[in-house]
Amino acid sequence: MNTFKTPTLAGTIKPANDKSMTHRALILAALATGETVIVNPLRAADTTQTMHALQMLGVPITIDAQHHCIKVQGIGREGIKAYVEDLATPLHFDFGNSGTTTRLMIGLLAGLNVPATITGDASLQRRPMDRIVDRLTQAGAQITMTRGHLPLTIHRGITNGLIDERLQVGSAQVKTALLLAGLGANVPVTIVDDFQTRDHTEIMLATFGASITVTGTTINLPAQIQLTGQLIAIPGDISSAAFWLVAGAVIPESTVTLANVGVNPTRTGILAVLERMHADVKLRARHQVNGEPVADITVRPTANLQATSITKAEIPQLVDELPIIALLATQAQGTTEISGAQELRFKESDRLATVGQVLTQFGANIQVNDDGFTITGPTRLHVPEAPVDDFGDHRITMLIIIAQLMTGARLEPRATTNVNVSYPNFIRDLEELLHV
């Protein structure tokens, strides 16, 4: 990475395309019949895992780099099952670092009754899978795990004639896995989502032609669903945009515009937090694509940021943004309390511990609690005396880089390959905003 001379950010970029939506578009396209063209997908390490998994199930997928799209020739549930039945040996998947691929594919494979072994890298093997597997075994699946974690083996798919579940954790991955299990098994699904987790799956199912209904917090997906290939456009990912939203709000003389960002209400918790903290953030050019709200977001620095409180009810709407929000809180007047965020302990790293350690090295006044943080500001950050560990976590790496910018010092080179998990062009976008 280059060494930059000034931390001021200015310009317009389109942040990484939405990771959650790309995963879902690929899987639903495979279950559909006919061609789906996914325009502006996120082509990153995580979504590549999902694409390769579907190709192992016999789904033809091609990348059209010239037109920034992926073309999926959907073969439907029956086509996938027929392909797998002709294989000589059971499938073995290694999903690397992708928790989304893993959890969604567990649901899909259990629904399709596809025997398979699933593993991943050391980080993924530390992440809990019982929250999904327990639900699927209650529906008749036979799945063995390694103390609640990967590696796991699916011996038999679900056998129940329906899936009826109230979510026990605020996880859209669990919700989507159950919906995919129902689709794969061709049985009706009812899910009560009191957490109001991100609803990309529900919106996209409707786009593919499913007669899904959402009444309050209850989701109903009937059996006998036939999905049809579609043109799906993927907007920018607000979780990736979050790093620039925070940087633009605190780095003097900055003006950053993030173009074509998804602003689905189940994902915009960070915008609500920024508003409460009196940040200068404006949304323009609002429109909808495939049922998803999209906008351009402009952020400028604010001298009088105010502390806030984030409680358990908000966590599902901003869980991936909490590390960078913690950094923002170091620049706010007063004490910011973040609670109900135990889910951070089960990410690529224990993000409660890793965020606390990283920000402490930068001089932040941060206390790590069992379920969140207590952060008192404003604090002038300084360059750490010792090297800062990113714990192999892509969001921690990006957090460190933004924190370095905020010190006002020259940006020191560091390894950034793990940002390829979610934001391969992060450094390129940084250079563009810094005009280097």
Is residue 349 a known part of a binding site?
A: no
The answer, yes or no, to whether the previous bond of 151 is cis (omega within 30 of 0) is yes
CA distance 258 to 266: 19
**For the chain, how many residues are written?**
436
Is residue 171 a known part of a binding site?
A: yes
Residue-level pLDDT at 2: 43
Ordered by where they begin, the domains of the chain are: 10-16+235-434 (3.65.10.10), 19-233 (3.65.10.10)
CA distance 22 to 71: 12
The one-letter code for the residue type at 374 is T
Is residue 19 a known part of a binding site?
A: yes
Task: Using the structure block, give the residue that is written with the tokens 């073969």.
Answer: 75
Residue 41's closest CA among 65, 59, 57, 58? Answer: 65
Locate 69 and state its tokens. 């799209």
- Phi, psi for 357 (deg, rounded to 5): -65, -45
Does residue 306 contact residue 333 with C-beta atoms inside 8 Å? yes
Q: What is the pLDDT along the chain (436 residues), one digit of tens a residue?
A: 444 444 789 999 999 999 999 999 999 999 999 999 999 999 999 999 999 999 999 999 999 999 999 999 999 999 999 999 999 899 999 999 999 999 999 999 999 999 999 999 999 999 999 999 999 999 999 999 999 999 999 999 999 999 999 999 999 999 999 999 999 999 999 999 999 999 999 999 999 999 999 999 999 999 988 999 999 999 999 999 999 999 999 999 999 999 999 999 999 999 999 999 999 999 999 999 999 999 999 999 998 999 999 999 999 999 999 999 999 999 999 999 999 999 999 899 999 999 999 999 999 999 999 999 999 999 999 999 999 999 999 999 999 999 999 998 777 777 788 899 999 999 999 999 998 6
Is residue 71 a known part of a binding site?
A: no
Three-state secondary-structure class, residue 2: coil
* Catalytically active residues, by annotation: 320
Q: How many helices (H) and strands (E) does the chain have?
A: 14, 20
Is residue 126 a known part of a binding site?
A: no
Is residue 81 a known part of a binding site?
A: no
